[in-house]
Structure 1
Amino acid sequence: MAALGHTFPFYAGPKPIFPVDTTLAVIITIFLTALVIFIIILPGIRGKTRLFWLFRVVTSLFVGAVILAVNFSSEWSVGQVSANTTYKAFSPERISARVGLQVGLRGVNITLIGTPVQQLNETIDYNEEFNWPLGGAYTEAYAKALEKGLPDPVLYLAEKFTPRSPCGLHNQYRLAGHYASVMLWVSFLCWLLTNVMLSMPVLVYGGHMLLATGIFQLLALLFFSTTTSLTPPCPLRLGTAVLRVHHGPAFWTTLATGLLCMLLGLILAVAHKMQPQRLKAFFNQSAEDPVLEWSPEEGELLTPRYRAVTDSPEPQDIPLSETPSEACCKEEHPKDSDCAL
């Protein structure tokens, strides 16, 4: 830089930003497409069954979409502050900007937006992501950010989450995200089993799996809250302002969905004990168990037919057939009473 006339570091222009996280956009698109397909075939269902079926489909798709979306969301812990802080390294010039921090299960996202956006003859609009998968990927991403010359507020917050930082935020949030993500994947598996069992005549087990779906979501919240509260909060100072972090939308959405799953699971369990017939009618299942019956049709072929147990005929006594010797004896000596002996 001295060879270039003591100019300040060169900053690359802001990279293009999609309005929504691409992973969340894909998840939302998939579930919305499934919902549209189910709505298209809705007119083919008659009577009250149409409303029951629509309620089941919407509820199931909502739960599945939430479990996947929050697992990939970066808004488990969020914070934002307006600050007057330095912008470039080795420069006394300051900017007025909104600094945002979003902590997810797989990394952190840091935003820096100027107020106004155009300051110091530059466009101040940054959105940087730093992930912490297994290994030293976070340290490498932070080193690349230093080489790239990102603004001071972004580098300051990213440095707080490095493994060598005295704040200890890296191990704290990394463990919390790991265990919470595992619980959410188990919850998603329970959600799949719930849909399978509710489509079969085992409704009580479907209710149990729905209850398990909610329990594992609450366990994810418990692991995340417990692990992130093990160490005292680290002060994040940007100029004279202090950035404070609190639970974000993903945390509260998971809590609401987990409680909803537990409530619906308990309702299914109670309804199976109190009103099993109405529960079967709600899921469009017959109240009577079918019995397999065979009947001959054209071409001497046997095809299965189902008939309810209540319509089955009464058992009839069928006389045993006579042995060939007794029949022959009666034909030759019809008046002899001892011919069978």
Structure 2
Amino acid sequence: MITIAQRRTEGRPATDEWHQISSTMWFDLFRTNRGLALYSPQFTPVTGDIELHGVVSLGVLLVTVFVLAAAGISYGERTNTALKVLFGIGVITSILVCLHGTGWKEASVITRTDYRAYSKDQVKVAIGIHIGLKSVNITLVGDPVKQRGDTINYNERIFLYTGGKAESALKPTFKDFLKKGMPLPIISIAEYLALDGGGLRKGRYVRLAGYFTRIMLWAAFSLCILSILLFSFCPSRGAIVTVLTGLLQCAANGVYALLQPDSAMVISFRDADLKISNADFGWCFWLNLFTGFGLFLVGIFVLILYRLSPSKVNGFFVLSPLRRFRALDEHAHSDELRSEGGSPDGSPGIPLGVATPEVFGTALQPVRRRHQSRPQVPQVIIHCPSPSPKETQERIADNVVTRLPSTEEENTDL
């Protein structure tokens, strides 16, 4: 073997030798028989719902964007605009969370059970089931997590229906779990939900309840968007649509509760049973009910305020300062103008039969609203020829004659 000193004496630099040795060592690392590098698979458990986290992140992002943009809003409108925007974002986010969340019904149990089929190995695990409107999450966590040379930490999802239709997707998912070799507790829960015959139709009830409730919540979501748009144009109509949105959300909760199975869902294991009664509603159910009832109260409150003081309600909800001024001005001066017989521009009214050339010319001047800057327009005044005194007397005489009753009418009255 040629040493580094010999290489140096022969005139070849020692750095080439070190580069060759180091490259050979790194290339041979994790390789056998001069093949490619192979790494063992690392399966990590799912610790959260991706769709639910995405919806919450979207709501937080919208709130952050509004807070950053609030600096450009005038100080007088910043408070009411913040209330309206934050309230709308909160309601929309809560409806989307209820649509995508898996917390409509929940149950869990800690027990010792078989880990694999046809095996006597038993493990102590915490089994949980989380039912949503379109899917069911099954969790299996060991106590401790490392048992029997395996990491027991599973979070599997079962879709209730496919393609937006009411067709069941439970049986295909159950067969897929069998092919993958899932732990026995997860397979037992999937089989219990997939059975659809005789008296075991629990999965059918869960699927139909989620399907119809989901339709009603999407309708409530559309009405919520419509109410936000209407509040900027007509607050009274927006309040009515808000009341309808709250009623629809509460009705969705009622439909979900009515479509539950007649008896409780009981899944038996070795030491304990996983029981899901009809009253075991989760946080999504109560969140949707609270949101719907809150929208109903808010809509009724706005309608009452609109009946008492429509000008203040219009001033709070209408975003445009020009439209706000018009709403306030028209309401404040409507009664006064009607009683005085005046016109919206503040000029006196023209009673019938009293129109003179001077008044008639003044009334045809351009209307100027207060607090509005408009370009100067030349005034247009129409000059009417004034009648002579003789003509005026003749007209008055004609009016008096026409108003006096005739002799025939006097005889009939007598």
Query: TM class by shorter-chain length?
Result: 0.7 to 0.9
Q: Distance in 2 between matches of 1:254 and 1:241?
A: 32
Secondary structure in structure 2 of the residue aligned to 1:288: helix
Alignment counterpart, residue 229 of structure 2, candidates 196, 217, 220: 196
Shift in Å at residue 46 of structure 1?
3.2
Alignment counterpart, residue 266 of structure 1, candidates 265, 289, 300: 300
Question: Are residues 287 and 321 of structure 1, via their aligned partners in 2, closer, same or farther at CA, if it must alter by over 3 Å?
Answer: closer
Q: RMSD over aligned Cα, in angstroms?
A: 2.2
Shift in Å at residue 231 of structure 1?
1.9
Corresponding position: 1:44 with 2:76: no
Shift in Å at residue 176 of structure 1?
0.4
Shift in Å at residue 13 of structure 1?
7.6
**Aligned residue in 2 for 1:65:** 93
Secondary structure in structure 2 of the residue aligned to 1:101: strand
Alignment counterpart, residue 129 of structure 2, candidates 75, 84, 101: 101
Equivalent positions of 1:124-139 (< 5 A) are 124-133=152-161, 134=165, 135-139=167-171
Shift in Å at residue 281 of structure 1?
2.5
Alignment counterpart, residue 279 of structure 1, candidates 302, 306, 313: 313
Q: Distance in 1 between matches of 2:42 and 2:268?
A: 24
Deviations, residues 41-92 of structure 1 (Å, cap 9, x unaligned): 2122333531221111111100001111111111110111111111000011
Q: Distance in 2 between matches of 1:93 and 1:46?
A: 69
Which one has the largest radius of gyration? 2
What number of residue pairs does the alignment pair up?
Answer: 292
* TM-score using structure 2 length: 0.66
Q: Is the Cα contact below 8 Å between 1:14 and 1:125 reproduced in 2?
A: no
Equivalent positions of 1:167-316 (< 5 A) are 167-200=200-233, 202-228=234-260, 230-245=261-276, 246-284=280-318, 286=324, 288-289=326-327, 310-314=344-348, 316=359
Q: What one-letter code is carried by the residue in structure 2 that aligns with 1:178?
A: Y
Secondary structure in structure 2 of the residue aligned to 1:117: strand
Secondary structure in structure 2 of the residue aligned to 1:161: helix
**Aligned residue in 2 for 1:32:** 60
Q: Is the Cα contact below 8 Å between 2:224 and 2:242 reproduced in 1?
A: yes
Secondary structure in structure 1 of the residue aligned to 2:137: strand
Deviations, residues 111-138 of structure 1 (Å, cap 9, x unaligned): 1000000000100011111112143532
Secondary structure in structure 1 of the residue aligned to 2:145: strand
Q: What one-letter code is carried by the residue in structure 1 that aligns with 2:231?
A: L
Q: Is the Cα contact below 8 Å between 1:76 and 1:103 reproduced in 2?
A: yes
Q: Is the Cα contact below 8 Å between 2:194 and 2:203 reproduced in 1?
A: yes
Shift in Å at residue 18 of structure 1?
4.5
Q: Which protein, 1 or 2, shows the higher relative CO under an 8 Å CA cutoff with sep ≥ 6? A: 1
**Aligned residue in 2 for 1:333:** none
Shift in Å at residue 284 of structure 1?
4.5
Q: Which has the higher helix share?
A: 2
Shift in Å at residue 290 of structure 1?
9.5
